[in-house]
Copies of this chain bind each other. A is one copy, B any other.
Amino acid sequence: MLTRIDHIGIACFDLERTVDFYARTYGFEVFHTEVNEEQGVREAMLRINGTDDGGASYLQLLEPVREDSTVAKWLERHGEGVHHIAFGTEDVDADAGAIREKGVRVLYDEPRRGSMDSRITFLHPKDCHGVLTELVTSAAPSATTDH
- Mark A residues whose CB is within 8 Å of B: 1-5, 8, 10, 12, 18, 21, 24-28, 48-53, 57, 59, 78-82, 85, 87, 99, 102, 104, 125, 128-131
Contacts and interface: CB of A to CB of B under 8 A. Distances in A.
B12 A129 contact: yes
A4 B87 contact: no
B8 A49 contact: no
A130 B131 CA distance: 16
Contacts of A51: 49-52, 57
A4 B81 contact: no
A127 B110 CA distance: 38
A127 B142 CA distance: 35
Q: How many copies does the complex hold?
A: 2
20 contacts: A1-B27, A2-B26, A3-B48, A3-B49, A4-B49, A5-B5, A5-B57, A8-B82, A10-B129, A12-B130, A21-B128, A21-B129, A25-B99, A25-B102, A25-B104, A26-B99, A49-B57, A51-B51, A78-B130, A80-B129
A48 B2 contact: yes
Indicate the member of A48, A49, A52, A57 with the most B CB atoms within 10 Å. Answer: A49
Given A57-B57, A79-B130, A80-B130, A8 B5 contact: yes
A87 B26 contact: yes
A81 B125 contact: yes
